[in-house]
Amino acid sequence: MLRVLFSPRMLAFHALVVLVVPSFIALGFWQYGRWEDKAAAVALQEANLSSDAVPVQELTSVGGDVDSEDRWRTVTATGTYDSEHELLVRNRDGSRGVGLYVITPLVTGDGTAVLVNRGWVEQPPTSTQQPEVPPAPAGEAAVTGRLQYSETPENTGIRERDGLPEGQIMIIDVDEIAAGLPYPVHGGFVELTEQDPPTDPAPEAVPAPETDTGMNLSYAVQWWVFTVIAIVGWFFLIRRELRDAAQGGRPDGGGPGGDGSGGGDSAPSGPDPRPEARV
């Protein structure tokens, strides 16, 4: 038994199993950890989306940023839109394909402002052409929306580009935008969901995010199933090798002649068919 189990061929299989099984288990736990992280993020997102609205000043401040725990919270603000400093954010998805977000500062009563994403507009035929943007309401407006933290190349994977048309940007980097405005700006920005007074036409509202934990839990289960398959296959391979060794390496289990009778060397009965034997 030891000679079979520790033969060069079996040692190679043992080494493969020792390598593969812990790797499969570790990969399963890695995917499970990713699923836990996504599930926690989804739970926080759903809770924040359903939370009661609070004034934006309670969750962000001038020069600060929005805490990740407060992302997607519903906030309110009242002020006057500053359309002269409106910006368009390129390469954003909408119901009709890729277009632009409309970012308009809302200057509140204390002289500070919050950036409001008023929604999506369609991309014009050429990249240098300005799109048609429905105007913001004149006078005082009360807005309600979802709070977002500032976009950066690190948290979006998007890099700023040179040569963009005037008034267009790639990401909603609040600090960079605030540097070009004549008033203090609160950190983060608001995705508009309601506005009083409403406007018609208006940019297409940014939809609420889909809550999806992805396929990581399924992938974790798959890796653990592969682990079980590898162990079971290894066990059956050992059984087969031991059985074959016990049978002397012959699949029929017979004697030296292959028929189990032990008479493999006896001459056939009846007349000798060779011609010289009939001379």
pLDDT at 124: 87
From the list 112, 115, 126, the residue with the least C-alpha distance to 182 is 112
pLDDT score, position 171: 96
Q: Report the C-alpha gap between 212 and 168 in whole angstroms.
A: 31
Q: Which two tokens stand for residue 201?
A: 């036409």
Residue 160 vs residue 82, higher pLDDT:
82
Average pLDDT over residues 79-102: 95
Contact between 168 and 90 under an 8 Å Cβ cutoff? The reply is yes
User: Is pLDDT of 184 > 90?
Assistant: yes
Q: Above 50 in pLDDT, residue 91?
A: yes
pLDDT higher for 39 or 86?
86
Residue 79 near residue 55 (C-beta atoms within 8 A): no
Give the up-direction half-sphere exposure of residue 34: CA atoms within 13 A in the CB hemisphere.
Answer: 14
CA distance 10 to 4: 7
pTM for the whole thing?
A: 0.71
pLDDT tens-digit map of 56-71:
999 999 988 899 899 9
CA distance 131 to 153: 25
Q: Residue 67: its pLDDT value, please? A: 92
Domain boundaries, the chain: 2-36+215-241, 52-196
- Determine which of 4-8, 59-63, 78-82 has the lowest per-residue pLDDT on average: 4-8
Task: Write down the pLDDT at residue 238.
Answer: 78
Rounded CA-CA distance 131/101 in Å is 11
Rounded to whole angstroms, the Cα distance separating 167 from 46 reads: 34
